[in-house]
Amino acid sequence: MGADGDSYDLVVLGAGPTGENLADRARAGGLTVAVVEQELVGGECSYWACMPSKALLRPAAALADARRLAGVREAVGGELDAGAVLKRRDGFASNWQDDGQVAWLESVGIELVRGHGRLDGERRVTVETSDGGSRTLTARHAVAVCTGTRAALPKLPGLAEAKVWTSREATSASIVPGRLAVVGGGVVAVEMATAWRALGSEVTLLVRGGQLLDRTEDFAGQLVADGLREAGVDVRLGVSVTAVHRAEAGTLTLDLSDGSRLPADEALFATGRVPNTADLGLDSVGLTPGDWIATDDSGVATGVPGGWLYAAGDVNHRALLTHQGKYQGRIFGQVIADRVAGRPLDLAPWGRSVATADHTAVPQVVFTDPEVAAVGLTWRQAEEAGLRVRAVDYELGNVAGASLYADGYRGRARAVVDLDRETLVGVTFVGPGVAELLHSATIAIAGEVPLSRLWHAVPAFPTISEVWLRLLETYRG
């Protein structure tokens, strides 16, 4: 409890990775901090997203890699042991218990308030506690909203009654469905199609648009579609769901826009995210319930007088990725502590008090087979932003390290070069094992490293990283 009863320097709504990092940095700066959480401390990432999903996907990738090497594929027989994979997944989700995360909060002196918190005017938070009571928390300096997002479901006949999967059920299910329909063409859809197909489900992927991963370079979505089809996924583009029916026997039928019907045992709808702000009391501070909370680069919510309300992570819609939320949390928590202490802020474009990476250097890995690792702008996005750019492509299979990594290696790299500054504004790698290439690209973009200097960053031979040399050679011609 704070020094003045239920009064704290900072009150944080949401104890996911973003809220934890923001609270930790503020606490390290000398502030008293309370965190309000109605579910599990650790949030979506720990229990229903990053950790369990990657635990499901890693065995599939390991098996696929083994089958790509002569001498190894002969030693690998059979399919994945689904029970063992799911048990390992459960371990990475801490068996949906948050004791360890709670203990960490206690160890750094952050108070946990269990329950549903709502804003109640300036610097006030009311909490319906999990034991049926209520508390009113007063923030002497700031409130930070870190409540994240939830799955968005379309309005379709029969959908609510059908009790379909969202990302939560897809990452926590304990039984492998015989037939799984996946609706969507984004990251969750393609990753979960990959994972459950490897575990034995017959998977049909229904994509309303004409390509997968439509926010990446076009070739990324095409290579992922090829990989899914080779794994046995039925990928259908240009098809949407018009209605859903759940039979008494438990099976599903999906009515499709092409007039056909698709039977399934389960259906995952991976059709976007919406902010967890509908029941957060935003109207008490002049904001609209259910909306994203826009902020400036120091985390202060725009449209709320006084500069006391902050929003970090998915809820501010800057970059819906766990690592970006943690990044914002570290910066915004320090900003709050510095402001309370009267320390000067470093608000220069690349200063420690602003979150600039959300605009210029957002990295993301899609853990499909092949993997997609991308940072910055695509070629199309760069041109739409008015930059004079050139896309430099190289086939990864022509890199010695890649050919050693897998027989018949297939993949592609693209660097998007700002021709006026001769720096990189975007990089995409697609292929087996490319995830670990991404941080070098992120550094090059975030650091605005001139191509003339990248010539002197020598990649080790024979590694896949040699693609950097080949991209530079291709650019120079």
* Per-residue pLDDT reduced to its tens digit, 439-463: 999 999 999 999 999 999 999 999 9
Q: Look at residue 156 and tell me whether its pLDDT is greater than 90.
A: yes
Q: Cα dist. 2→41, 140, 308 in Å?
A: 20, 11, 18
- Domain identity same for 146 and 282: yes
* Residues 236 and 289 both lie in one domain: no
Is 258's pLDDT higher than 90?
yes
Here the CATH number for the domain that contains residue 257 is 3.50.50.60
Lowest-confidence region among 16-20, 28-32, 198-202, 343-347:
343-347
Q: What is the pLDDT of residues 199-244, one digit of tens each?
A: 999 999 999 999 999 999 999 999 999 999 999 999 999 999 999 9
Task: Answer whether 289's CB lies under 8 Å from 282's CB.
Answer: yes
* Residue 208 falls inside a structural domain: yes
Does pLDDT of 348 surpass 90?
no
| Strand, helix or coil for residue 440 | helix
Q: Residue 350 pLDDT > 80, yes or no?
A: no
Share of the chain above pLDDT 70, in %: 99
In the predicted model, is pLDDT for residue 2 greater than 60?
Answer: no
Average pLDDT over every residue of 361-376: 98
Nearest-angstrom CA–CA distance, 388 and 94: 48
Mean pLDDT of the chain: 96
Does residue 319 belong to any structural domain of this protein? yes
Q: Are residues 18 and 127 in the same domain?
A: yes
Q: Of 256, 271, 286, which residue is a domain's last?
A: 271
Question: Which ranges in 406-450 belong to alpha helices (H)?
Answer: 438-446
Domain with 199, as residue range(s), is: 159-271
Same domain membership, residue 300 and residue 352:
yes
Considering the chain, what percentage of its residues have pLDDT values greater than 90? 95
C-alpha 217/C-alpha 40 separation (Å) is 36
Q: What pLDDT score was predicted for residue 457?
A: 97
Domain contains 51:
no
Residues 179 and 262 in one domain: yes
CATH classification at residue 433: 3.30.390.30
- 130 inside domain: yes
Between strands 134-145 and 7-13, the pairing is: parallel
Q: How confident is the model at residue 5, as a pLDDT?
A: 61
**Co-location of 164 and 284 in the same domain:** no
Domain co-membership, 384 together with 404? yes
Pairing of strands 33-37, 7-13: parallel
Please give the structure tokens belonging to residue 381. Answer: 């996005």
Cβ atoms 239, 256 nearer than 8 A: yes
Spatial distance between the Cα atoms of 129 and 403, rounded to a whole number of angstroms: 57
Confidence check: pLDDT of 4 > 70:
no
In a domain, 250, yes or no: yes
Asked if 340 and 447 sit in the same domain, the reply is no
Q: What is the pTM of this model?
A: 0.95
The answer, yes or no, to whether residue 3 has pLDDT greater than 60, is: no
Q: 314 with 458, same domain?
A: no
Please check whether residues 319 and 379 belong to one and the same domain: no
Tokens describing residue 374: 């991308």
Q: Tell me whether residue 138 is in a domain.
A: yes
Task: Determine which of 42-56, 131-145, 350-364 has the lowest per-residue pLDDT on average.
Answer: 350-364
Mean pLDDT within 15-37? 98
Question: Is 120 within a domain?
Answer: yes
Beta bridge partners of 383: none
| Secondary structure (3-state) at 392 | strand
Using the structure block, give the residue that is written with the tokens 């990248």.
454
pLDDT score recorded for residue 390: 98
In a domain, residue 57? The reply is no
